[in-house]
A and B are shown apart, each in its own frame.
Chain A
């Protein structure tokens, strides 16, 4: 199978990433959009979080407008609100809850009233009547008026003042006058001194489409209790308040529900139709109180001043769940929380023609799995991104450009640089050392010393396998390539007698456990059992132990590494990112192949402490930390006292792996190695070296380019400078270089660049 054949954008195929149920199951786990606890507890659905946010900014007018939206008589609500949100406020768990009723009162006093009369509303054709006054019917009449129903309000009282005196006696002074004005300036037709009798009701009700009554008048009419949800009395279309309506909040809530029933009845619908979510609900929101200090309410005394109200509102912690976003650089970078991200990835995969806007998001997750640990519900973004990659590869929608370099690097590890040998003198080995491709690339000396040490101290023979565990193919979503690499490893291990694998890399250990099985140990475990070799380093200083993301959830591995580090004299410092909370260094998931800046940000976030060195047990972490200027070392560098050199570049990493293989073949197995050489020499200027590193161009690519130039003569000379430009197509990439002939069979390369497009003349 040709894994490196470029796809065609004119080839349309698509398979769903998840079923609707699978998508819903994942999305349900994310509680970011859940309402705040105060909002969930409030029957009137006042969003306390947004309300406090306005007051925190000193914007009392917006806060007042929120209250005016939830009820037609906000001062009645604010004066009599029992504040059920207080019980559910997360602050109540550690101190006092936010005093919402006091803030409501402050907002109404300090905020400016709505300017103007608002939009002109055309009255509805259906009309409503409300019989009998009580707090519920007063508010209901106003609710119906707000809904533009021509509303008639029949009361036995003689004046608005009398209504308020009887049913809202808690209102005084300015508050009373404001609410009185609100009632009298409304379009409600109030019929004072009405004789509220059954005869009057029977005579009048025929004039209206919707009939409502106070609880007292309903009882006088002899109607039974209304339905708990619709508030419509059984067998009739009369709307009345529920029996449980005993306080101001209850009256406001019932009036709102009654107005919804009035709407349904006016439309000729069943009043239980499409009512949506009413009343208090249970919020699944998660709020982390770890960094929240307990605090007490600011006393209201005679009412908050603006400063006091701001002080009280500032106690609100603005409950929201952003555990994953706070921890994950990837989510911060894409500015999306998992639920939205998942939906967009799902839609991205579904696109048959057009731009796949989420490809970069899919390909820049480091697949480290930290989100699953920090999320209170275990949301696994990595699983979704990996599945999306596999899906897009399976239907040929994933461009090779994203991961081709890494995949070719894996093929190099499992091709030219691959080695599988038993210890000399053994046909079958009890153990096999699998250091991992990055160890050979970054610290080949440590690998060599480790292998020789294991051979000398473990009985039964120790084989050696130098290669890639296939993590690269897995991360790229290339399952076929992953299966081929796994099959190759299985075959190699079989030839060594299926020995116990001693892994030198946590990712290899995880991959081999999943793909191959059998007994697998980390080298740290083996070294703890056998003891340290002679000549190991004694560090004797403070050092931060960075856990590999592949060790997440593997407590025995984390413990073994700590034990080994302590035996090396390390004074280990644990951080917030220790053990299962660890985050990625930027190597995982092939992020750096897609977005180098993001990979760097990941490394900077993970190794944020600049004062102490970092100890790692994954060579990629060690390398990535060193790249951002942190002092970092792999534990094997300490065990074998062989510090790795400065961060090797992409070409040097390949060279190191090949040289390690060839050196071991010569030294340990006495095998002659034929090394490929060219009959010319290339010098790269510093600028060219930097370009090659940034543009992912290997020195072998440039050697091939000049070799091609020497064989074909194809190229171009710039007559003014004498510089030569030539190119060569290798696989899916055309490499270009500017160079000069600096001597016989010697070239100096000054510029390198590449593109993936093909070019031909017509």
Chain B
């Protein structure tokens, strides 16, 4: 089982600002979970409120791919 790994640069220009806290999202550890499996990944996270941003290409790419593999386990 290949794990979801960090494969893109997390917010290289520091453009992502948490709407609630008004501070930039930072690279931090997050855990994807599905069907009782967990995958640690580095994601843009708000250090204050914990909002994790999942970009579209990740959701429809690697995340979807891993979901499909697990669904047929």
Q: Which residues of A contact B (CB under 8 A)?
A: 6-11, 353-357, 359-360, 399, 401-402, 709, 712-720, 724-727, 734, 736, 738, 751, 753-762
Contact = CB atoms under 8 A, between A and B. Distances in A.
B15 to A, nearest CB: 5
A751 B17 CA distance: 19
11 contacts: A6-B35, A353-B73, A709-B19, A715-B20, A716-B51, A755-B59, A755-B64, A758-B33, A759-B54, A762-B31, A762-B40
The B interface, classified by DSSP as helix, strand, loop or mixed, is: mixed
A715 B67 CA distance: 24
Contacts of B56: 736, 738, 751, 753
Q: List 10 tightest A-B contacts by C-beta distance, closest first.
A: A8-B36, A399-B71, A715-B19, A713-B20, A9-B73, A755-B59, A758-B33, A757-B34, A762-B29, A757-B32
Nearest to A9: B73
B28 interface: yes
Given A7-B35, A727-B54, A755-B64, A717 B30 contact: no
Interface residues of B, number: 41
Contacts of B72: 355-357, 359-360, 399
B35 A9 contact: yes
B60 A718 contact: no
B73 A354 contact: yes
A753 B53 contact: no
Given A713-B20, A755-B63, A761 B73 contact: no
Contact of B51 (A353, A357, A714): A714
B51 A758 contact: no
A8 B45 CA distance: 27
Given A755-B67, A757-B34, A712 B20 contact: yes
A9 B19 contact: no
Contact of B71 (A10, A401, A754): A401
Contact of A716 (B25, B30, B31, B67): B25
Interface string B18-53: 111000010011111111110010011110011111
Given A9-B36, A718-B15, A726-B19, A761 B63 contact: no
B36 A756 contact: no
Contact of A8 (B15, B35, B49, B63): B35
Contacts of A714: 19-20, 49, 51
Contacts of A356: 72-73
Nearest to B39: A757
B17 A717 contact: yes
Given A355-B73, A757-B32, A736 B59 contact: yes
A727 B50 CA distance: 13
A313 B53 CA distance: 67
Given A715-B51, A717-B16, A757-B34, 20 more contacts: A8-B35, A11-B36, A354-B73, A355-B69, A357-B72, A399-B70, A714-B51, A715-B19, A716-B19, A716-B51, A716-B53, A718-B15, A726-B19, A736-B56, A751-B56, A755-B60, A758-B34, A759-B33, A761-B50, A762-B31
Contacts of A753: 56, 59-60
Contacts of B13: 720
Contact of A762 (B30, B46, B54, B69): B30
A401 B19 CA distance: 31
Contacts of A726: 19
A10 B17 contact: no
> Which one of A7, A9, A734, A736 has the greatest number of beta carbons of chain B within 10 Å?
A9
A753 B49 CA distance: 23
Contacts of B51: 714-716
Given A753-B59, A754-B59, A759 B31 contact: yes
B27 to A, nearest CB: 12
A505 to B, nearest CB: 31
A755 B35 CA distance: 13
Contact of B54 (A9, A360, A715, A736): A736
B66 interface: yes
B58 to A, nearest CB: 9
Contacts of A357: 72
Contact of B52 (A359, A713, A751, A760): A760
Given A718-B15, A720-B15, A761 B70 contact: no
A728 to B, nearest CB: 12
Contacts of A727: 54
A761 B71 contact: no
A715 B17 CA distance: 9
Nearest to B49: A714
B15 A719 contact: yes
A724 B51 CA distance: 13
A642 B5 CA distance: 55
Contacts of B53: 716, 725
Chain A CB within 10 Å — which of B16, B43, B59 has the most? B59
Contact of B45 (A7, A738, A761): A761
A356 B68 CA distance: 11
B21 to A, nearest CB: 9
A466 B37 CA distance: 40
Contacts of A719: 15-17
B11 to A, nearest CB: 9
A761 B60 CA distance: 20
Given A754-B59, A757-B66, A761-B50, A716 B18 contact: yes
Nearest to A6: B35
Contacts of B29: 761-762
Contacts of A360: 72
